[in-house]
Structure 1
Amino acid sequence: MLYYSASKQGVPLRPDAVSVRPGHPRPFGAQALDGGVNFAVFSRNALAMTLCLYDSPEDGEAMMEIRLDPHQNRTGDIWHVLVEGLKPGALYLYRAEGPFLPERGFRFNPNKVLLDPYAKALTGEFTWDLSRARAYIPDRPEADLSFSEEDDAAYVPKCVVVDDEFDWEGDRPLNYPLRHCVIYEAHVRGLTAHPSSGVENPGTYRGVIESIPRLKSLGITSLELLPVQEFDSLDNPRKNPRTGERLRQYWGYNTLAFFAPKSTYASSRIRGAQVAEFKEMVKALHRSGIEVILDVVFNHTGEGNELGPTVSFRGLDNSIWYILDEDPRYYKNFSGCGNTLNCNHPVVRNFILDCLHYWVVEMHVDGFRFDLGSILGRDSKGRLLENPPVIEQIAEDPILRQTKIIAEAWDAGGAYQVGSFPGGRWAEWNDRFRDDVRKFWRGDHHEVRNFCTRITGSSDLYLRDGRKPFHSINYITSHDGFTLHDLVTYERKRNLDNGEGEADGHDANFSCGYGVDGPTEDPGIRSVRARQARNFLATLLLSIGTPMLLAGDEFLRTQGGNNNAYCQDNPVSWIDWSLADENRDLVRFVRELIAFRMRHPAFRRPEFFTGKDANYNAIPDISWYDPSGKAPDWARIDRVIAARIDGSRADIVADRDDNDFFLMFNASESAVRFRICPPPPDTRWHAAVDTSRPSPEDIREPGTEPVLSPQDECLLAPRSLVLLLARDPAALS
């Protein structure tokens, strides 16, 4: 029997209660209507299409197969049918018949059931085995040129018909301006899977809801989630060489169903519950003033290379969806994951826009981070386009106009477009900020000029094409690489447990252990590491641009030196919240830094510094100094620098005056005395931040900042940062 309720255990529907009508070609996917469900799927080169309806996720045999009539059920390249009597909760897949000619780019095989590219939910109640979905016979010498007659329906997930009805209670995307945002990058499962999270629903969307008080307390504005679109958690064949444990696909950068939230992140096992729970999470986050940004992976799919499974796109129209090699048996691999989506084909372009519209309109998300975004700029041959249609269309789309769009502006095929990503209003993950700030605080020589450029918004990257400082997403760490703790602890990666013989992960980490490579009990080394962590965090949150924190860095979460934990669905990747208590002083430091940034518009300025005076007080918007108080010799200054920021509203382009500020950075191993210019009339310099001091003296609460004495100089401890603000000693900042 067929069950169709997403709220109860289900109401049976007899096959004889179902009737079939021609249906409509739009919208794509399965659309629940009064009295039935309309199905529509694209395939240009299929010769026949069958809709398969199932009773349960494990079924290998369909309850009903509806073979579509190409005269009645096809409009152009769209196959469609209306099934009256069907309701939300129904399970379905497709079978597509057509030429199986891999050497010509065609890979139709009706023995392999196919996911609907527009499916809004997949079944998650059983273990997938996509090795059965290969359209060829693996042990045959001709490999992918052979033809498999094995039916795989019992081993793959089924699509779920979803009812879009949901009581949003007036919720809308928050759409904060980027310059007012502090982004927090996290993994839905990893945020609460660790027992220390203490939540009732660990590793789920509801677990995220239970975590809101922690996020709110920290002060972040925007939660950026690693991929939540459906992927196969078991597509990694490797084992941990140390434990023998099967490794997994943890991060999720191997999407199979772009409209469907991950089913195993739902706490309920009721069909389609993941859609409602995702919406509940978004609504709860919005109610608490926190945006939701999704990491999306439109550069490839989880079908892999020519030896991968035929799960959806490959079996529906391989030569349309993918960029094929000159020998069309093979795929261009600009993603490093076996295939590359043909993003600028009109059909694929419309699919991407439809998908983004769905997540904004139906799921209320506030923005997207596009993994390996440079692939969006490649044509059907893999060449980079000067004005890629899909990138411009996303930027100019009227529905997405207030939606954040953030590019990872490179790919695995050699493209690197940081500072030159096309399309106008795109923000970018700025890896130049990450690397240059790391090198400066490590104590590398001749990095001052680069460091100063990064902390002032990277004008060398974003000014020339009319973008603003906030288009630079500044970060020190992200999911991809060392955590902050590991950045100041390890000098080389420790990726053996990933099963790739240490060949994976970046080697150029610009990290340092400060005397020991790895953990140590030496109190001197531990003190330096803690100070360096504060230096990195203070630099990030006091820089011009949009800061992004990696979840757990506020209390020094570690991955044991693993800088590519994509396969570690275990405590290596899960956030250990007990560290928040152990490192409560650092949590306070980060919380106060975020609050400081939000109080002071000078650090959220919308325009680049000019070095000129905009309000006629004879003080430029920014002035640079060496320790002697003179203008720096940029060719010679090394590991030290100071800057004065004029806080007048004209200079910071704000609606009110801010304080003036004096920042000093000492990345050397020796104490350095800085000469300080006079503060504005009727004010005195007060020490707001000093990373060399213990808590709570490392950052002072507003109004408690001590007056600097003497006013004209300050001795900076080795490897430290000091921030002064100017105010009337009798007034609050």
Structure 2
Amino acid sequence: MKQMMLILMLLLSVASTTRVYYMLDPKNNSQLLNFSGCGNTLNCNHPVVMELVLDSLRHWVKEYHIDGFRFDLASVLCRGPDGSPLDAPPLIREIAKDSVLSRCKIIAEPWDCGGLYLVGRFPNWDRWAEWNGKYRDDLRRFIKGDPGMKGVLATRVSGSADLYQVNQRKPHHGVNFIIAHDGFTLCDLVSYNLKHNDANGEGGRDGCNDNFSWNCGVEGETNDSNVLALRSRQMKNFHVALMISQGTPMMLMGDEYGHTRYGNNNSYGHDTCINNFQWGQLAERRYGHFRFFSEMIKFRQNHPILKRDRFLSKNDVTWHEDCWDNLESKFLAFTIHDHNSGGDIYLAFNAHDYSVDAVIPPAPQQKHWNRVVDTNLESPNDIAPEGVPLTGSGYRIAPFSSILLKASP
């Protein structure tokens, strides 16, 4: 049986009138500093507060058998009493070194509401993992067709060595994601150019404006079959990229069936269909959208070369690219090599609005290529787990689509 782990999300806050517990404005001790977006910020690196936090974490582990913690707006834990950033925050170190917490996963959302953006720079003692916000933004921009993103895409799917190849950190310390609980769902990411938050009662002022989304030609709900087909391709493209990337993948519940919040990117206050899991929609899409997502997850699980415990070397991947400086190129193809069994994996992503005729490299000795994924094909042909033999040395890759080939005997 596959092991399931329970990770608890924490936003550290406290209800207290004691000045010790809060960060105060040095120029006005009656004014609370607000780096959390909640009106106050816990003074986490004060010895008393730090012990309170550590005791609470140990309690969750000992009494409730929590397997790990994801710290919301974790950059607030890296600030001193006056709100200034600390290079070696005591609390972060103690969590990393604590004997009770040593078996736990510890994951940081490495930014806060005060602008302390620590992606790739979060103090970690080789223990802390991070939400890779640069992965999210760069993948969104490439898949929707922004120019100049090809080289960055290569870096991100390779495990973001520019961010995490420091000291003893591994690719798994970077948590790759396209979608999180905040912001658009995956369906909305390809259906809306703008947020639609009127239902939140804040006049549309809440929620992030920088979503790097693209509605594929029509804003919101539509019956246009061409637009719907393009949106489906784009969702599959995102999922393929996430599942073949080195690092730890994270998905949002509901994206596996195409959940929509109708463009609301700050929906936490709604106990409605906007946030509730739609089991009926899952059942309706079980043999289409859901099947594709499920099979891609299985493919990743069954291919260790997609989840190496070290960063890729030049012998691990071949980039079929000789013009990295072409900012107008929105096509990237590469082969990930399997040095043990020769089960290489070829991938190509085409974010152009026209087809690209790709030259497929020769398969390893005594192997041939099988097509596993072509996101341009309709279900069930969009993913064939056993593979469909490839004939010839070329493949026409449709606009806004991706393919995955596997070398087999």
Instruction: Give the alignment's TM-score, normalised by structure 2.
Output: 0.97
In the alignment, the residues of structure 2 paired with residue 583 and residue 671 of structure 1 have an alpha-carbon distance, to the nearest angstrom, of 28
Q: 1:705 aligns with which of 382, 387, 391?
A: 387
Q: 1:647 aligns with which of 335, 338, 354?
A: 338
Residue 87 of structure 2 is aligned to residue 408 of structure 1: no
Counterpart of 2:99 in 1: which secondary structure?
Answer: coil
- Percent identity over paired residues: 43
The within-5 A match list for 1:532-547 is 532-547=234-249
RMSD: 1.3
CA contact (8 A) 2:351 2:400 kept: yes
Deviations 1:71-115 (A, max 9, x none): xxxxxxxxxxxxxxxxxxxxxxxxxxxxxxxxxxxxxxxxxxxxx
Higher relative contact order (CA 8 A, sep 6+): 2
Residue 332 of structure 2 is aligned to residue 591 of structure 1: no
| Cα distance, 1:465 vs structure 2 | 4.2
Deviations 1:687-725 (A, max 9, x none): 111111111211112xx3111111x21111111111111
The within-5 A match list for 1:96-107 is none
Partner of 2:366: 682
| Cα distance, 1:289 vs structure 2 | 2.6
Partner of 1:694: 378
The within-5 A match list for 1:524-535 is 524-535=226-237
State the aligned residue count.
Answer: 406
CA contact (8 A) 1:602 1:658 kept: no
The within-5 A match list for 1:259-658 is 289-298=3-12, 300-301=13-14, 312-314=15-17, 318-326=18-26, 327-424=28-125, 425-584=127-286, 585-611=288-314, 620-626=315-321, 631-636=322-327, 638-649=329-340, 657=341
In the alignment, the residues of structure 2 paired with residue 560 and residue 465 of structure 1 have an alpha-carbon distance, to the nearest angstrom, of 43
In the alignment, the residues of structure 2 paired with residue 391 and residue 370 of structure 1 have an alpha-carbon distance, to the nearest angstrom, of 11
In the alignment, the residues of structure 1 paired with residue 324 and residue 115 of structure 2 have an alpha-carbon distance, to the nearest angstrom, of 36
Deviations 1:326-376 (A, max 9, x none): 211110111121100010011111111111111111101111100010111
Deviations 1:249-288 (A, max 9, x none): xxxxxxxxxxxxxxxxxxxxxxxxxxxxxxxxxxxxxx87
Residue 397 of structure 2 is aligned to residue 716 of structure 1: yes
Counterpart of 1:642 in 2: which secondary structure?
Answer: strand
Q: 2:356 aligns with which of 658, 672, 681?
A: 672
Seen in structure 2, the aligned counterparts of structure 1 residues 501 and 687 have a Cα distance that, compared at 3 Å, is same
Partner of 1:71: none
In the alignment, the residues of structure 2 paired with residue 520 and residue 692 of structure 1 have an alpha-carbon distance, to the nearest angstrom, of 20
Instruction: Give the alignment's TM-score, normalised by structure 1.
Output: 0.54
Structure 2, unpaired ranges of 5+? none
In the alignment, the residues of structure 2 paired with residue 722 and residue 531 of structure 1 have an alpha-carbon distance, to the nearest angstrom, of 11
The one-letter amino acid paired with 1:290 is M
Seen in structure 2, the aligned counterparts of structure 1 residues 636 and 413 have a Cα distance that, compared at 3 Å, is closer
In the alignment, the residues of structure 2 paired with residue 636 and residue 498 of structure 1 have an alpha-carbon distance, to the nearest angstrom, of 39
Deviations 1:294-333 (A, max 9, x none): 10111x34xxxxxxxxxx422xxx2111111221111011
In the alignment, the residues of structure 2 paired with residue 600 and residue 632 of structure 1 have an alpha-carbon distance, to the nearest angstrom, of 29
Structure 1, unpaired ranges of 5+? 1-286, 302-311, 612-619, 650-656, 729-733
Partner of 1:4: none
CA contact (8 A) 1:493 1:563 kept: yes
Seen in structure 2, the aligned counterparts of structure 1 residues 483 and 563 have a Cα distance that, compared at 3 Å, is same
CA contact (8 A) 2:331 2:351 kept: yes
In the alignment, the residues of structure 1 paired with residue 79 and residue 33 of structure 2 have an alpha-carbon distance, to the nearest angstrom, of 11
| Cα distance, 1:637 vs structure 2 | 6.0
Partner of 1:616: none
In the alignment, the residues of structure 1 paired with residue 137 and residue 327 of structure 2 have an alpha-carbon distance, to the nearest angstrom, of 21
CA contact (8 A) 1:686 1:706 kept: yes
Seen in structure 2, the aligned counterparts of structure 1 residues 373 and 658 have a Cα distance that, compared at 3 Å, is farther
In the alignment, the residues of structure 2 paired with residue 502 and residue 544 of structure 1 have an alpha-carbon distance, to the nearest angstrom, of 37
Partner of 1:202: none
Deviations 1:123-174 (A, max 9, x none): xxxxxxxxxxxxxxxxxxxxxxxxxxxxxxxxxxxxxxxxxxxxxxxxxxxx
Deviations 1:12-65 (A, max 9, x none): xxxxxxxxxxxxxxxxxxxxxxxxxxxxxxxxxxxxxxxxxxxxxxxxxxxxxx
Counterpart of 1:678 in 2: which secondary structure?
Answer: coil
CA contact (8 A) 1:489 1:518 kept: yes
CA contact (8 A) 1:600 1:658 kept: no
